[in-house]
Structure 1
Amino acid sequence: MNYLVHNIKYLRRKHHWTQQQLADELAVKRALIGSYEEGRATPKIPVLQRLAALLESTIDRLLDTPLETQQPQNKPLPRVLPIVVDQNNEELIPIVPVKASAGYLNGFADPEYVEALPRFYMPIPELSRTATYRVFQIRGDSMLPIAPDSYVFCEYISELNEMKEGQPYLLITKEEGLVYKRVFFKAGNRLLLKSDNAAYESYSIEMGQVLELWKAIGVLSFELPKPETSEAAHISAVLNEVKEEIRKLRKV
């Protein structure tokens, strides 16, 4: 079944856009948006591509998946998040190093445990003073090109429906503890967790398994870029020579 008609209308309203605003974003006439939503016209492939990118989805999902029925319920995760503040009442950012990740599953709801974690304050514009952040150190190569032992800066998400499909999140789950994956919605109140490293298989979990949810917003790594290999350097040199020859031929 083609769900495009329902999905366009649902996602437009979810983003609080008028038909004219969506038309402006897609560079089409407003009347066409009405035709799409009523099933009287079908977007051409370039418009579908822009639409999928704008709505943070894929063409396949827009066509084949009833997105409205797969969205998580608008309810908070079942707990109060403990935070740490300094003497000026500025919220500090706790760090969860790899060696503490196993204990975090048992202590994440304990204010004394969270307060005992290393913490710092970072007054930069990219971090809102109204949001709550935490830094998690991750190990393993499932999320390459993010290097193992990198520190991932995360913003706390209090409601499941705040998630954006296909974005990376750090989840605290009942069965696996701390996991860092890209999240996709599935039917039956389930989430599909996918690694960026194709060598790792995707898997799904029930939404009720999620104890804590953090949106990844940045990475701190102490692994510096490696120099080009001799083979890569040779290829680069050859390409530069070809470009130079083309430039000379154009002048002639």
Structure 2
Amino acid sequence: MSFLAENIRYLRTQLNKSQQTVASSLLITRGRYAKYEDGASEPPLEILVRISRFFHVSIDLLLSVDLRKVPLNEIIQLPDNRIVFPIKVNEHGNNCIEIIPHKAQMGYLSSYSDPEYIENLSTLSIPFLRNGKFRAFPTEGDSMPPHQNGSFIIAQYVENLNDLKCGRTYIWVTRNEGITYKRLKAVEENALLLCADNPIYAPYSIELQELIEVWEYSCSIATEEFEQGILSPDSAQLMFLMEELKNDVQQIKKKLL
């Protein structure tokens, strides 16, 4: 089912534009444009591209998402307007953080742009997480101690890849691997080098074109009690912590200069 007719009618009224104004911008007649809004006919690809550029909304969104359900004045837009993130708050003004449950991880990859899917997720609010869009993702495996299997990483959406910082941890949503939590080791020409904090796992690269979303670590929630000794660092972990401390000191020095 395409939402095109409803979406372009809704967007035009939101902009307070007449059908003639939009049609003139698209270089077509008003009657032809009216048929698109009525659903009597569908625009060819060339006109669809013009419509997308006029409203500054991607073709994917125009066709597959009911924009009437999205608060357009309270959204973060991803690159190329692929999807939109409504920023919802509770009665106390705190952000509503959507929780991606373990059983819904695979569904997230196919439904992350569906407002109805996001609206049906459970939410939580943390008072000190206010500015930005946050989401809670489950972790699996032992690659990122001390976060145990079953913990949740609450992370903030990264709007611009230029804001990524080597040494920081992120939730990476990719077409091939799905959802993974790893540390950014290096930025390559057309890829990113990621590494686990557990030294038994080797670093690996992901191509930029495979990225769907990136979320920067903000805090975590442990759902199970830590086992005794789990936080006892071995030599490899100590070396990693020392390197991280050195990087932090260098960043502080740069800010003071």
TM-score bracket for this pair, using the shorter chain length: 0.5 to 0.7
Following superposition, the deviation at residue 224 of structure 1 comes to: 2.1
User: Structure 1 CA distance, aligned partners of 2:119 and 2:87?
Assistant: 6
Task: In structure 2, give the amino acid aligned to 1:136.
Answer: F
Aligned partner of 2:110 in structure 1 is: 106
Summarize deviations over 1:99-157 as a string: whole Å, max 9, x none: 111111111111111111111223x22x12x3110011111111122111001110111
Q: Report if the CA contact (8 A) 2:174-2:212 is conserved.
A: yes
Task: In structure 2, give the amino acid aligned to 1:85.
Answer: K
Aligned partner of 1:77 in structure 2 is: 79
Q: Report if the CA contact (8 A) 1:82-1:114 is conserved.
A: no
User: Structure 1 CA distance, aligned partners of 2:195 and 2:124?
Assistant: 31
Aligned partner of 1:207 in structure 2 is: 208
Q: Report if the CA contact (8 A) 1:171-1:214 is conserved.
A: yes
Following superposition, the deviation at residue 228 of structure 1 comes to: 6.4
| Structure 1: gaps spanning 5 or more residues | 1-75, 230-252
Question: Are 1:151 and 2:152 counterparts?
Answer: yes
Aligned partner of 2:42 in structure 1 is: none
Following superposition, the deviation at residue 87 of structure 1 comes to: 7.0
Following superposition, the deviation at residue 84 of structure 1 comes to: 5.6
Structure 1's 186 and 148: CA in aligned 2 closer, same or farther, altered over 3 A? same
Aligned partner of 2:169 in structure 1 is: 168
User: Structure 1 CA distance, aligned partners of 2:228 and 2:179?
Assistant: 33
User: Structure 1 CA distance, aligned partners of 2:138 and 2:105?
Assistant: 8
Identity among equivalent pairs (%): 33
User: Structure 1 CA distance, aligned partners of 2:109 and 2:206?
Assistant: 17
Summarize deviations over 1:177-208 as a string: whole Å, max 9, x none: 11110013333221001111112121101112
5 Å-filtered alignment, 1:112-131, equals: 112-122=116-126, 124-125=127-128, 127-128=129-130, 130-131=131-132
Q: Report if the CA contact (8 A) 1:77-1:211 is conserved.
A: no
Q: Report if the CA contact (8 A) 2:174-2:213 is conserved.
A: yes
Please state whether the residue corresponding to 2:109 is helix, strand or coil: helix
| Structure 2: gaps spanning 5 or more residues | 1-77, 231-257
Whose RCO is larger (CA < 8 A, sep 6+)?
Answer: 1
Question: Are 1:92 and 2:96 counterparts?
Answer: yes
Please state whether the residue corresponding to 1:82 is helix, strand or coil: strand
User: Structure 2 CA distance, aligned partners of 1:191 and 1:159?
Assistant: 14
Q: Report if the CA contact (8 A) 2:166-2:187 is conserved.
A: no
Task: In structure 2, give the amino acid aligned to 1:110.
Answer: D
Following superposition, the deviation at residue 83 of structure 1 comes to: 2.6
TM-score normalised to the size of structure 1?
A: 0.55
TM-score normalised to the size of structure 2?
A: 0.54
Q: Report if the CA contact (8 A) 2:172-2:180 is conserved.
A: yes
